[in-house]
Amino acid sequence: MSRVVVMGAGSWGTTIAKVIADGGCDVMLYSRREEVAQEINESHRNGDYLPGIQLPPGLFATSDVATALQGAEQIYLAVPAQTLRENLEVWREFIPKGATLVSLIKGLEQGSGLRMSQVMVEATGLPIEQMAVVSGPNLALEIAKGEPAASVCACPDVERANEVARTCSSDYFTVFTNHDLIGTELGGVLKNLIAVAIGIVNGLGYGQNTKASIMTRGLAEITKFAVAHGARRRTLFGLAGLGDLIATSESSLSRNFRAGEMLGRGYTKKEVLKRLLQTAEGLSSVAPVLKIAAEKGIEMPIVTQVSDVIEGRMRAGDFGRQLNLADDVEVES
């Protein structure tokens, strides 16, 4: 079996490590906090991020980067999008040259607007063929509890995609494969923006008609954006697009939904960030997405309204009243 490492012991990193261990493969989990690694090794728990979840004996943890990455063949990256480049620049001397790097991150880099696979190539100097992404409806606590779920792995190298899918699958978590790295990655990024929008209208107390309208029109917006970047339309209607959007758009387990809900209830961006404790990638991805959309001439009225609410340019109570600004052509089949 390949040596598998997960870098990042937050809720999703720990969950993926658990899935891999439950699938029969030993896995090393890197935590920057020694006390978290110690808790995982001694009591098989990560109480800060997965309270009540017993971790399997095949899951080990360390706070030492060199120890974690030594001999690694598959390296899963589960850190906030805005810290990925900085982390990789520190870690790259320890990354084996032939390893597959797997992004579990759903965000764009602020400033550059790069997808995570692009950041991974730049920061490590490794070829894009060694980069993969796992994405889909991934609410960590549900999966950690063993509730059945599925995701997709995309990688330019077919065999690497298959290897990652085999490693990540267990009796309750199934990973499929495709070759659309761009679409799979952008689906995970863009659905967060619509989840924030759904959270806003939920915080306002609006009902299912409003939510369904925004979700559907939001899917049209993000599909248009992704296709303009070379994604396959069908990817956005699969697990990495529509599937992830459904899971993230109305669950209290979703940080992006909770962030939007607080905005809808009148909290400011600063107050939301203070109360979330964990990163909501949707909040940091809005600006780079809209910048890129403007450069390509892509209209995204719902995402624009999300940005206006986040930055205080629009009252939350006015959100969603301008759906008529959206392209009046329905999503193409």
pLDDT in tens, the chain (333 residues): 469 999 999 999 999 999 999 999 999 999 999 999 999 999 999 999 999 999 999 999 999 999 999 999 999 999 999 999 999 999 999 999 999 999 999 989 988 999 999 999 999 999 999 999 999 998 999 999 999 999 999 999 999 999 999 999 999 999 999 999 999 999 999 999 999 999 999 999 999 999 999 999 999 999 999 999 999 999 999 999 999 999 988 788 888 899 999 999 999 988 998 888 666 777 888 998 999 999 999 999 999 999 999 999 999 998 877 665 445 444 444
For residues 136, 188, 272, 32, the Cα torsion angle rounded to the nearest 10 degrees is 80
Q: What is the pLDDT of residue 125?
A: 97
* Distance separating the N- and C-terminal Cα atoms of the chain: 42
191 an active-site residue?
yes
Q: What is the pLDDT of residue 259?
A: 92
- Asked if residue 21 lies in contact with residue 14, where contact means CB atoms within 8 angstroms, the answer is no
Q: Where are the beta strands (DSSP E) in the chain?
A: 4-7, 27-30, 59-62, 74-77, 100-103, 131-135, 149-154, 173-178
pTM equals 0.89
Distance between CA atoms of residues 300 and 306, nearest Å: 10
Catalytic residue among 191, 211, 274, 291: 191
